[in-house]
Amino acid sequence: MAKSKLTPADEKFIKEFLTPEILPFDAKLIRNNRFTDETVSVSPTVAAAFDFAMKLEPILQDKDALKKVHEKLTPRNSISKFDRARYIVMKLDSNAYMTLLD
């Protein structure tokens, strides 16, 4: 059996904060870099992590806006959750990370 790229903490984060679309295992979704407009085909989990990071980036210190994204988000933990989402993208799809987030 192949070793998972994700840590138990990553798995917990996905269950708690991300809601990947329920699609077939091999389904691919398109995401684009907002600056370069380059597109990448990604898995539902990578898409959910990318979308979460993009939602958080402009509101990292806005308590009310963070609560609208997820009830457990605060200005104190938002940066670590933002980073965790980005690192999940990097672990699962390095090409998507380099194209979309780097």
**Per residue, what are the HEC states of the chain?**
CCCCCCCHHHHHHHHHHCCCCCCCCCCCEEEECCCCCCEEEECHHHHHHHHHHHHHHHHCCCHHHHHHHCCCCCCCCHHHHHHHHHHHHHHHCHHHHHHHHC
Q: For residue 6, is it within any domain?
A: no
Q: How confident is the model at residue 23 (pLDDT cuts 50, 70, 90)?
A: low
pTM of the model: 0.89
* For residue 25, pLDDT beyond 70: no
Mean pLDDT of 36-43: 94
pLDDT of residue 1: 45
Q: For residue 8, is it within any domain?
A: no
Parent domain of 39? 13-101
pLDDT of residue 27: 78
Q: For residue 61, is it within any domain?
A: yes
Q: For residue 80, is it within any domain?
A: yes
Q: For residue 24, is it within any domain?
A: yes
Q: How many domains does the chain fold into?
A: 1
